[in-house]
């Protein structure tokens, strides 16, 4: 690939062979240099695009890995919380049953409405 300087040097070397041309040759040289510079910039952008996409993909992969790890931790916490809730529920059920067998009914305010709902529906 030719750089702008190489193109300008090539055109400058060709000018004496073509008999000059003065103003028109100078304009052509400037235009050729601009076109070459634009082409060089376009090629540089095209070459940089895969690198930018690779960097974006690496960021995406790191984000997915972090989210997967966080989800695993949250699932573990949720499983422990569900087990604890089940343990509390069984304990409350046993205590209520023992109280009723002993003739001590719970007061209406003793059992929270959410507990009543859980005991009724299981959810």
Q: Angle, nearest 10°, between helix axes 4-18 and 23-101? A: 160
pLDDT at 96: 85
What is the pLDDT confidence band of residue 78, given thresholds at 50, 70 and 90?
very high
End-to-end Cα separation, the chain, in angstroms: 71
CB-hemisphere CA count at 13 Å for 33? 14
pLDDT cut 90: percent of the chain above it: 13
pTM beyond cutoff 0.85: no
pLDDT at 15 over 80: no
**Tokens found for residue 75:** 């699932």
The pLDDT mean for the chain works out to: 77
Q: Mind listing the pLDDT tens digit for each residue in 29-59?
A: 667 777 787 777 877 777 777 777 778 788 8
Rounded distance, CA 102 to CA 77, Å? 37
């Amino acid at each position: 690939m030719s750089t702008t300087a190489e193109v300008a040097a090539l055109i400058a070397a060709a000018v004496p062979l073509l008999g000059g041309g003065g103003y028109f040759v100078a304009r052509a040289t400037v235009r050729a240099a601009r076109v070459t510079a634009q082409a060089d910039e376009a090629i540089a952008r095209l070459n940089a695009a895969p690198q930018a996409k690779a960097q974006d993909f690496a960021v995406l992969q790191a984000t997915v890995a972090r989210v997967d790890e966080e989800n695993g931790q949250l699932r573990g916490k949720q499983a422990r919380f569900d087990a604890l809730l089940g343990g509390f529920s069984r304990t409350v059920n046993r205590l209520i049953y023992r109280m009723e067998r002993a003739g001590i009914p719970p007061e209406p305010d003793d059992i929270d409405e959410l507990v009543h709902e859980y005991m009724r529906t299981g959810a």
